[in-house]
Amino acid sequence: MKSIKIIIAASVFSVLISCSDTEKADGYGNFEATEITVSAEANGKLQFLEVDEGEVLEKGLLVGLVDTLQLYLNKQQLLASKETVASKSGGVWSQVSVFQEQLQTAKSEQQRVKNMFDESAATQRQLDQANSQVDVLKKQIKNVETQNSPILNEVKSIEAKIAQINDQIKKSKIENPLKGTVLTQYVEASEIVSFGRPLYKIADLSLMTLRVYVSEPQLANIKIGQEVTVKIDAGEELKSYSGKIDWISDTSEFTPKIIQTKEERANLVYAVTIKIKNDGSLKIGMPAEMWIN
């Protein structure tokens, strides 16, 4: 009798195990990553491009350069023009310097006469003459500066063109925008590129995003920030990862055809994204399952 009980208990246990093995996941989806396409911001010959597919690049790393020779020559020409134009104002500024010195002397005399007038040691006429001398010199300085205004405007115009070329030279340098893995390389060194032409595609694969779809009854069991288990195929077994729900859609949609069977595609579901740290095994497009803990 005792042996019969043991057999029955073992049979029930085996049934429970088989039932647990056939449990369905709470969501199915594929891994994604934010992909950035780095494009050329200048026109010309690509001097070099040091990127290889699968290579991990640091943020801000100089990986390429578009030819800047013509820009450099134009900049040197503008610098020479600026120096020539600026030399025209040399005589004007020398006059301003003379008037500035005379103005300082006149102001000192004005203050001296004012102090004497306050002590009744100078007349009103003497004070008026001192004030008039200061006003005259100020007007003379202003007139001379007005004569120099067109020259200064021309210098400012040249400086603006130089700043524009400096910006073009800066954009000719191809700097990697983020730390990540190169997914695709579109061009090679020595090719002619134009503004907006894609050079390579890069993505940060250290933190992957799993997009799954859940039905409306499941929404009550999940929330943003909740930890879930993510499983992928690993031979005959499933490999588990710890993930955290990052976003839950507030609108329903039809399940994508690549996710479910024909019958299940007719159901409305909600998209959910989960963030998972990548140990190197997770790839873009890889299928995975979400299990609510």
**In a domain? residue 18:** no
Assess whether 143 and 283 both reside in one domain. no
Q: Pick from 172, 193, 224: which residue ends a domain?
A: 172
H helix or E strand, kind and range, residue 32: strand 27-32
Check residue 178 and report its DSSP letter.
S
Quote the domain boundaries for residue 252. Answer: 27-33+205-292
pTM, whole model, 2 decimals? 0.69
pLDDT, mean of residues 132-141: 89
Assess whether 212 and 167 both reside in one domain. no
Other Cβ atoms within 10 Å of 66 Cβ, number: 26
Other Cβ atoms within 10 Å of 64 Cβ, number: 22
Assess whether 141 and 198 both reside in one domain. no
**In a domain? residue 16:** no
**In a domain? residue 12:** no
Structure confidence at residue 254 (pLDDT): 76
- Tokens at residue 192, please? 């002619």
Amino acid at 21: D
pLDDT, mean of residues 105-116: 91
Assess whether 88 and 104 both reside in one domain. yes
- pLDDT exceeds 50 at position 134: yes
d(CA 128, CA 145): 26
Structure confidence at residue 261 (pLDDT): 53
**In a domain? residue 9:** no
Assess whether 55 and 180 both reside in one domain. yes
Mean pLDDT of the chain: 86
User: What confidence tens digit (pLDDT) does each residue in 175-185 have?
Assistant: 999 999 999 99
Check residue 271 and report its DSSP letter.
E
Helix axes 124-172, 69-88, angle to 10 degrees: 170
CATH at 60: 2.40.50.100
**In a domain? residue 6:** no
Structure confidence at residue 3 (pLDDT): 41
d(CA 113, CA 224): 80
**In a domain? residue 15:** no
**In a domain? residue 159:** yes
Q: Pick from 172, 193, 213: which residue ends a domain?
A: 172
Q: Pick from 124, 151, 172: which residue ends a domain?
A: 172
CATH at 286: 2.40.30.170
Structural domains of the chain, count: 3
Other Cβ atoms within 10 Å of 276 Cβ, number: 20
Which residues, including other chains, have CB under 8 Å from residue 139's CB and lie 6 or more apart?
A: none
User: What confidence tens digit (pLDDT) does each residue in 249-282 have?
Assistant: 988 887 665 555 555 555 788 999 999 999 999 9
Assess whether 127 and 80 both reside in one domain. yes
d(CA 73, CA 47): 17
Assess whether 45 and 187 both reside in one domain. yes
Assess whether 126 and 199 both reside in one domain. no
Assess whether 132 and 221 both reside in one domain. no
User: What confidence tens digit (pLDDT) does each residue in 196-233 have?
Assistant: 999 999 999 999 999 999 888 888 889 999 999 999 99
Amino acid at 235: G
